[in-house]
Amino acid sequence: MRRNKVASIVCALVLCAGGLAAQAVTPAGQTLPEVPHPVAAPDFELKDLDGVPHKLTDYRGKVVVLNFWATWCPPCRYEMPSMQRGWEKAQADDIVFLGVNVGEDADTVFMFLADYSVEFPLLLDMDAKVIKQYQVVGLPTTYIIDPQGRLTHRVVGSREWDDAALLNVLRGLLPKP
């Protein structure tokens, strides 16, 4: 019941708001559309490939790049190397990348990792419950969650996540020193 309520709020404020989301276009022509009315990101707990549980609230105080993906999805595969590079560039800045794989098991993701070097946590949403909570419609979809745990940006389709201008938008969400 509570999950349905949270999902409805996410839908109403994030996806169904209508109108044009505010956004900048980077010199590389990339966009990072803002959520018109940031709402609390639904909490979840998912295991990574080693069986270690990760709760979203474990990352409160950091910027979270939450990417929903699958190994068979062409744009997901396309953007994964740039996510790794983005993670390498931003990990010293309290910016966390989490990949949520939808509907596949650990063995399948391990096979994917034979071809793609990914060091940030890859979590398994095998029964697709978390992706439903986030009202995702298509893969890949990436949410940006600010240090207060609010959904601030929503990206549908791939991006070059190591784009300096795009990473600067993420850094701008961190508390000023």
Partner 1 sequence: MLGRMRWQSMTYSSWTRTLPWKSWQPGLMGLLSVLGGGVVAQTEVGTGIDADAGLPYWEIREPGMSLRLVQRLPDQTRAFFLARGFARTDVDLIAQSCVFQTIFKNTSQTAQPSVLEYNLRDWRVRTADAAHGMKTREDWAEEWAARGSPQRARIAFEWALFPTRQAYNPGDYNWGMSVFNLPPDSRFDLEIVWQQYGSRHTHVLRDIHCAPDISTPETSTPATPTPATPEAP
List of residues contacting partner 1 (CB under 8 A):
15, 18-21, 23, 25, 29-31, 33, 70, 72-75, 102-104, 126-128, 131, 137-139, 154-157, 159
The Cα–Cα gap between 20 and 34 comes to 9
The nearer residue to partner 1, 54 or 154, going by C-beta atoms, is: 154
Residue type, 1: M
- Taking the complex as a whole, how short is the minimal distance between the CB of residue 35 and partner 1, in angstroms? 10
- Taking the complex as a whole, how short is the minimal distance between the CB of residue 24 and partner 1, in angstroms? 10
The Cα–Cα gap between 46 and 126 comes to 9
The nearer residue to partner 1, 59 or 140, going by C-beta atoms, is: 140
The nearer residue to partner 1, 33 or 147, going by C-beta atoms, is: 33
- Taking the complex as a whole, how short is the minimal distance between the CB of residue 148 and partner 1, in angstroms? 23
Residues 6+ apart with CB under 8 A from 164: none
- Taking the complex as a whole, how short is the minimal distance between the CB of residue 92 and partner 1, in angstroms? 27
- The three-class DSSP label of residue 100 is strand
Residues 6+ apart with CB under 8 A from 105: 124, 126
Helical packing angle, 74-90 and 164-171, nearest 10° = 60
The nearer residue to partner 1, 19 or 177, going by C-beta atoms, is: 19
